[in-house]
Amino acid sequence: MAFNHGALDATLAAAAGDDAALLRELRSAFLDSAAKQLDLLKRARCDGNWHVAAMRLKGLAASFHAEDLLQAAEIALHAAPGEPMAIREVEAVIARFARSRTPDPNRI
C-alpha cells in the first residue's frame, strides 16, 4: 500500500487555519484516537468487538480523509478477529502517520 498522508494534512490544515498549535493538537488527537482503536482491535476476541473497533477506525479515517488508514480499517473489517496481518497493517499506517508529524516550528 502506497503511503499518502497529503489528504490528512490538508484536512488538518483546513481545520486549523494558521494556528500551528491547533494543527499539532488536532494531529495529536487523531493519532491518539487511532491508537486507542488499534488497542481495542488488538484486544477484541469476538466478531462483535472486532467489528466495532474496525468500524470506529474506519470512521475516524473517513472523518480525517486518511485514505491509507481507511484502507487498513477496511482490511481489518473483513478479517477474522485477531488476524495478525490486519493488525500489522493498521499498526504500520498509524506508525507512518506518527513519523510524518508536522515539525514544531518553535523547537530548535
- 14 compared with 91, residue with greater pLDDT: 91
Place of cell 499506517: 93
> In this predicted model, what pLDDT tens digit does every residue of 14-50 receive, in sequence order?
776 776 787 788 888 899 999 999 999 999 999 999 9
Asked if 102 and 24 touch (Cβ cutoff 8 Å), the reply is yes
Residue 88 burial (CB count, 10 A)? 11
Read off the pLDDT band of 107 (50, 70, 90). Answer: very low
Place of cell 493538537: 25
Give the amino acid at 73: A
